[in-house]
Amino acid sequence: MEGSLTLLAVLIALLAGLAIGKAWERYKLKDGRWVDRRRGRESPHYILGLNFLVASQIDPAIDELTKAAELAGDPLEIRLILGNLYREKGQVGRAIQEHQSLLQRPSIRKLEHANVLLCLGLDYKSGGFVDRALSAFTDVLKLDPDNRYALSNLEKIYEEQHQWDDAYKTRQRLAALDDPEHQTAHLAILGFLENERGTQALKRMEYSEAAGRFEAAIELDATNTPAQLNLGDVHFYLGDVAAAIQTWERLIERSPERAYLTFSRLEGAYPHVGDTRRFPELCRSLIAGFPQDWRARLALARHLDGQGQPREALDLLFDALVQNPHALSVHQAIWQMLSHLQLPTALVDQYIDLTRGAIFYADPHICVRCRYRSTELLWQCPNCHEWNTFVEERIAPAKDTEATL
């Protein structure tokens, strides 16, 4: 009898404890009154705030979410969003303050801690406090090692700081978290990062390390153009002209649209191996294979002009102009040839006819991801920081439609 009463008392105490625990979870004492934590998300202010957020109306979103937070006893997730909204508005100081105050909460859980640190890292980043952003993202990874968002932000900071080794390791971690079908994109980026490491070695004149890095980059992604150019350059510096030529010719096979990057290199290298006809042959075979290739025509025209054949050169340049009337380099070359030929009226008229209506832009390239424009080919976009997104922008009435953008 005594025993069963004790058991009953224990059971009742247990149930009461559970009930109080549940209530504690739901309610919170704030300013002398009990606040229902769930009311935050159920209040119209929360929904209104999210609606404003979706419509990118930041100020009213802040107003509504502030009200929702107050009603619900300042839950962490709403204060976190509010901090992010201040950052979006450009009030970085206020965002930092908001997020730092969340870190002071005694009951903060591990993953919440990581989330707050991530937001704080983004605040620091947008305020230009690179070192503090770096340590915030690093701290996120200590709490949550697989946090992709922290990893990719960290990688971008390392890239901006030219800390290519760290950027490489960070990208490896990102790749390890991703599915097999996404590995090609990671390998391509790792290739660019490896190429940057090689370029650094090249600046230190450590040729064998540089060559190893460029080879590794090509191993990661056989179409990595800068690594192939650089590897050829290293061979050339070290006096192995045949290997340099082989490397650059292999680049042309793999990416004929980038062939022009090897032109001045190959034009200079072929005579070293006693072959003066190979360069014009290369240009002619590229023109035959890719009729829209104005750069091969320009290169061949310059070569022929150097051999004292300005009239043949000019015909090639007129063809190049039809393919890309916006290339300033073609116009400059044309005037040079016309001048060599003493400005024959018929040819000057032909030039004027061809260029009528063309709008000039030095050598336009465009990022396919963010539409950033550049006057040269870039391997990493300065605007969206993506790798290998630049294509030649052409508005030419080209006959080959697939080449136009």
| Residue ranges in contact with Zn ion by CB under 5 A | 367, 369-370, 372, 381, 383-384
Tokens read off for 88: 């979006």
**Residue 133 or 381 with smaller CB distance to Zn ion:** 381
| Residue 186 CB, nearest approach to Zn ion (Å) | 19
Nearest-approach distance from CB 125 to Zn ion, in angstroms: 18
Strand partners, 366: 373, 391
CA–CA distance, 250 with 275 (Å, rounded to integer) = 18
Shortest reach from residue 379's CB to Zn ion, in Å: 12
DSSP one-letter string for 108-133: --HHHHHHHHHHHHHHHHHHT-HHHH
Long-range contacts of 289-293 (CB under 8 A, 24+ apart): 289/256, 290/256, 290/257, 290/400, 291/323, 291/399, 291/400, 292/323, 292/398, 292/399, 292/400, 292/403, 293/256, 293/259, 293/260, 293/323
Task: Give 193 or 218: the residue with its C-beta nearer to Zn ion.
Answer: 193
Q: Compare residues 265 and 365 and give the one whose CB is closer to Zn ion.
A: 365
As a whole number of angstroms, the longest Cα–Cα distance in the chain is 124
CB of 159 to Zn ion, least distance (A): 14
Residue 396 is classified by DSSP as: S
Instruction: Identify which of residues 111 and 370 has a Cβ nearer to Zn ion in the complex.
Output: 370
Find the shortest distance in angstroms from Cβ 117 to Zn ion.
28
- Select 361 or 372, whichever has its Cβ closest to Zn ion: 372
Pick the closer one to Zn ion by CB: 242 or 370.
370
- CA-to-CA distance for 189 and 180, rounded, in angstroms? 15
Residue 346 beta carbon to Zn ion: minimum distance, rounded to whole angstroms? 45
Q: Output the smallest distance, CB 274 to Zn ion, in A.
A: 44
The answer for residues whose C-beta is within 8 angstroms of residue 79's C-beta and 6 or more apart is 69, 98, 101, 102
In the bound state with Zn ion, the residue whose beta carbon lies nearer, of 347 and 378, is 378
